[in-house]
Amino acid sequence: LIDYLIKVKNYDDQKFIIDLLGLIKNNQAEEPIIEILRNTKDANVKLSCIEALGNLESEKSVSLILTNYDEDEIYKPTINEALGKIGSKEALEFMINKYPLENDLTKYSIIESLGIIGNMETFFFLISELNTSEGPLVWVLINSIKQLSEKLNLDVPFDEKMRNAILATIYQANSEFKKSAIHLLKEFNDKKIVTACLTSLGEDYELDEILRTKVLQNKEQSLLVFPSLLKMKLKNSECVLNLLNDIIDSLEIPVTNILKGLSLRNLIDALSDYLSNSDEEARRISMNLLFRIDSKTALLFSDKMLSDDNIWNKLRFVDNLAEIEDETANKILEELTEDSEIMVSNRASELLKQRTSIYN
């Protein structure tokens, strides 16, 4: 390939071979590619050369690469990406100096590279940029700050500026940036941040596992968020309800010992609203949660449970009633013996017979 590259003059062929050599990462290709970059007039060949030299981590090519920086805007993102892979001091200083002069698209590519090759000064520089940045620049700043904090073992200051940047990233960015934002949280007890995080459940499996771990490590604090969270118009209600169920599973004390008064009432009200949800799974989970939290209070919503048109939810309702031995539960079971679904009516009748035989 290298011998052919030296001989070939066709730009398309040159580009194809350079792309291959960049992927192969054979250092013997470094000098021929540098020579082509020095002499070519074709923009696509230049871009391929710059990208390949970045993949080869070619420090000797940095000065030559930089001569192309201001030649055309299209070169800048590729050059910044290559400099991030090369990682030399010259590359780092160049990007820091260029940063204030660039548009947001180029700043974005610089920030990405600084997250790879930056030092302690770069770390604090990126944090300072949160003051004046917005939108996608905030997301990529958070990601690069996270990368440098791990690489250099540095603590990230959690002030109002950082808090707002994390919130913006969680609400607006894609799952990869959200993961970085959540990793920056030492504590998981800020109500607004926990709420923002839980609205992201269901987007990405890895993100869900990170959130689940964070929540279960701080379950009593996290539980306080659910009454107001469930009142929101959630697109991921089933995921949120399942997580609430996991929290209750993991508690060593009853929910009623943690949530009291208005908070407990708000949670029960929110769950009762889900009994009329169009999603049959959300209805089932919310019903089970109501019985787990306070079975006597759950019976107050029996009309909604009786009107559920899903047979499996009705059967689950009967199973929940089986755990309660009082007159109210028995009356509901009697009503269920007349249910139009034979499986439901038979199960309710069987349960009532068992209770009658025990009482007799």
Helix H, strand E, coil C: the string for 69-84 is CCCCCCHHHHHHHHHH
Other residues' Cβ atoms within 10 Å of the Cβ of residue 210: 17
Q: What angle do CA 306, 309, 314 make, to 5 degrees?
A: 55
CA distance 287 to 123: 49
The sign one gets for the Cα dihedral 203, 209, 214, 218 is: positive
Q: Are 293 and 268 in contact (CB under 8 A)?
A: yes
How many residues are present in the chain? 360
Q: Mark the ranges of the chain whose per-residue pLDDT is less than 70.
A: 357-360
Q: Determine whether 172 is exposed, middle or buried from the number of CB atoms within 10 Å of its CB (0-12, 13-18, 19+).
A: middle
- Structure tokens that stand for 38 in this block: 């020095």
The CATH architecture to which 1-117 belongs is Alpha Horseshoe (1.25)
Query: What is the structure's pLDDT at 357?
Result: 65
Query: What is the structure's pLDDT at 326?
Result: 86
Query: Whole-model pTM?
Result: 0.82
Query: Angle at which helices 43-55 and 30-39 pack, to 10 degrees?
Result: 150
Q: In the chain, list all ranges with CATH 1.25.10.10.
A: 1-117
CA distance 53 to 18: 9
Computed over every residue of the chain, the mean pLDDT equals 93
pLDDT in tens, 100-153: 999 999 999 999 999 999 999 999 999 999 999 999 999 999 999 999 999 999
Other residues' Cβ atoms within 10 Å of the Cβ of residue 61: 24
CA distance 43 to 49: 10
Other residues' Cβ atoms within 10 Å of the Cβ of residue 117: 19
